[in-house]
Amino acid sequence: MNVQLHEGQEIPVTIKRIGINGEGIGYFKRKAVFIPGTLPGEEVVARVEKDHPNYVEARVRRIRKQSKDRIDPPCPVYAKCGGCQLQHLRYERQLEYKREMILQALDRYMKKTIDSRIVEPTIGMDHPWEYRNKSQLQAGKQKGKVMAGLYREGTHQLIDVTDCKVQHPKTNEITRKVLRIIEDLNIPVYDERKRKGVIRRIVTRIGFQTGDIQLVLVTAGKHFPKKELFLKEMKRRIPEVTSVLQNINPKKTSLIFGDETHLLMGNEYIEEQLGGIRYDLSARAFFQLNPEQTYKLYNLVKSFSDLNGDETVVDAYCGVGTIGLWLAEDVQELRGIEMIEDAVRDARRNAKKLGVQNAVYVSGKAEDWLGTWFKEGFRPDVVIVDPPRAGLDDRLVETLKRIQPKKLIYVSCNPSTLAKNLDALSSKFEIKRIQPVDMFPHTSHVESITLLE
């Protein structure tokens, strides 16, 4: 029978491993205890926050025995923000942990035993800071001052993260200057609880290689008071911003963007360059947040594809065409599929700008298009999938098993859904290699590329 604990109770715990959200996991009287900010090997006294039937959520009160891998987080709001989970763990050990997370997921969700040697050491960064090209912050007001940040976990307390250590410094600088303009012009920021105000979120994106800067103001409605004055001040104070857009999101939702976007000033798109390829990015277009690691990731996809120029390739979650266009010159035919129509338009324009004539982009679900094409006699040699955290749709898994491309390359941002999908695919495909890539240093996120044949 499980032991009963009460909120506020202090318990001794020895941390055994790190969980999927970066928290330390130990046991108290055989019951799993999840404690953020702790590391394997540490002996801690923890305060019970919530007692669930099969596990306990707790907070560390004091560390009796400290791990040799523990370091002091350089970020002053690390403990409050929640955006990073692993700044207290030395970077070399973070890379090992991310490989271990994939192995744990495979062990948990796959019926077949997987040889651990197929999971390569994680590819990290030489300078694992200032790597994010996009900042998406909630606007708010505290003590009469306009600010932007992230909500502290489980609260409506906004934590100022406009000096974030993992953001490109320019995105931090632009956000701070935009806040001052909003404050000086007295433009109302949105209050989530009262559901009043105008400016909900401030989204800043920079092209690392081009220097282009895009600002998207997400507003609660179409009305944008003092818009002309705001744009005048933008030109005067932040002339380096090349694209200013308004996105309208009136819904009570955690989704950042609404469906409607309007250009206010400058260009509708910004450009980014990876290798020799330039991409146009609209406000809502998905693009990897870490350009340096993206370059490595796409080259790995190319290496795994092992192309000779005769292949037909499907990029099944193509976004703005990034991965597919990386391979286009080495394939006979490229087909891209994407749900977001804006991204499909971006992909077509990117292909045209690059002079790529062997690529076709369509809007819709991958499982629908692949099934239709298969009925028409099209069987791709290589299929690349880069799904969101929820992984592949069950219908897409069954479609892939039916059409059986020679190679399936799975780019994953979630080890758990990856392992579940690999378990389902393993009846028709053999897993050859899994390569973790650290796209988000100091967080618990794990990106990987799997080659199936």
30: left (phi over 0), alpha (psi -120 to 50) or beta: left
- State the Cα–Cα distance between residues 129 and 426, nearest whole angstrom: 37
Lookup result for tokens 């890539």: 437
Which residue in 75, 81, 318, 413 is the catalytic one?
A: 413
SS3 content of the chain, % helix, strand, coil (to 5): 25, 30, 40
**Residue 245: beta bridge partners?**
216, 263
Residue 84 bears catalytic tag: no
Pairing mode of beta strands 359-363, 407-412: unpaired
DSSP run (H or E) holding 353 = helix 341-353
In 3D space, the residue among 24, 42, 40 whose CA is nearest the CA of residue 32 turns out to be 24
- State the Cα–Cα distance between residues 361 and 335, nearest whole angstrom: 6
In 3D space, the residue among 180, 172, 270, 167 whose CA is nearest the CA of residue 234 turns out to be 180
Angle, in degrees to the nearest 10, between helices 415-425 and 91-109: 40
Measured from the Cβ of residue 345, the count of other Cβ atoms closer than 10 Å reads 17
Interacting residues of 133 by C-beta distance below 8 A, sequence separation 6+: 168, 171, 205, 206, 207, 208, 272, 287, 289, 290, 291
* Radius of gyration of the chain from its Cα atoms, rounded to whole angstroms: 23
What residues are annotated to the active site?
A: 413
